[in-house]
Amino acid sequence: MSRANQRLAQVQSHLSSSEADIPRGRESLFSKSPSDVVITCALRTPLTKGGRGGFKDTAASDLLAHTFKSLISRSQIDPALVEDIAVGSVLPPGGGATEFRAAALVAGFPESTAVKSLNRQCSSGLQACVDIANAIRSGMIDIGVGSGVESMSQQYGPGAVTEFSELLESHPEAKNCKVPMGVLSEQMAKDRSISREDQDAFAAKSYQKALRAQQAGSFVAEIAPMKTKFVDPKTDEETEIMVERDDGIRPGVTPESLAKVKPAFAKDGSIHGGNASQISDGAAAVLLMKRSAAEKLGQPIVGKFIASSVVGVKPLLMGIGPWKAIPVALEKAGITEQEVDVYEINEAFASQCVWCIRELGLPENSVNPNGGAIALGHPLGCTGARQISTLLNELGRSGKKIGVTSMCVGTGMGMAAVWVKE
């Protein structure tokens, strides 16, 4: 075969595995092809309280290095076979590109494994996993890692937001991109008639579900415990601790207890620290590869990537992102909302999550069955990758098959992805 014909055959092969050829319909999602993008391992660190929790003195790069080491150890993958790593993160200066490459080397990946950082705000971890999945689907690589990390303890604050130029300030819609999410979510709750009572009831359920899951050991399989340093805020004494559990989950939370919390963004407001996502630290990673590669290597296949979507909405309506993104992803997969078994929707604010669930007509018991970011925490860049491990473990425990992960995205976007448990 001539070189030109070889190249033509290669291009045709890549096109044959494009999104246009994704199987349609629920049953078709269970079919298996050598070109499928599959997951063989997904894990995360515990999520801890920003500024107070177990990882308050741990750098994001160290959280990431530990997560990579745990992924290599648990999956038994030869790190030299991993061709590319994508890391979603929101707050690090320079996007974290330098320290994330260094973290991969520390973890045991060779210099031949490429690393990139990316930032699509709260969907960064999911975007990293989707970027790797699409690189595999296109034929660019066969094996890669999608991941996310955030140390909100060390990097969250005013310095994470750039001052707008006169040009940006002069554009009515553009300047709305810098309106604080709490402020715009408060206004959205009022405009869309999401009562404080409904928000507090939703938030209390998140805490209660997460507490039950933690007590039942439901998170153990997805967590990679980490030994790290901890500085006592009262004595300045540094000790070494083992962080094994999410420390933001609180017992005894009820709608009545949340009703006593003062509003955070307006005197007559409905949003407060108890019905919004927690400021947190954590990291997560997902090992993806072609099914043919997984079978050749004897890697256990735990899930399959089907389709994803990313959409834009008005900046001031950031919270409706999942409502717009989920139907787009489902259409690409050829299924309806009712054919999905479990939804992991990021609980940025109870207000926007309640509205999206209602507008999409989702059964409440199918959404965040083990609680969400209100109870677990929301390390910005980590969440999208964390949701995948939580989803696949829940699907496995419950004997269900199809799941969706989704979140709203700051500045007015939404993202969603469809996954199948194997």
Task: Please state the φ and ψ torsions of residue 228, each to the nearest 5 degrees.
Answer: -155, 170
Per-residue pLDDT tens digits for 54-69: 999 999 999 999 999 9
Residue 258: pLDDT over 80? yes
pLDDT at 159: 74
What's the whole-model pTM score? 0.93
Residue 1: pLDDT over 70? no
pLDDT at 158: 77
pLDDT band at residue 287, thresholds of 50, 70 and 90? very high
pLDDT at 162: 83
Per-residue pLDDT tens digits for 87-146: 999 999 999 999 999 999 999 999 999 999 999 999 999 999 999 999 999 999 999 999
Q: Which residues are catalytic?
A: 122, 378, 408
**In the beta sheet, which residues pair with residue 404?**
343, 418
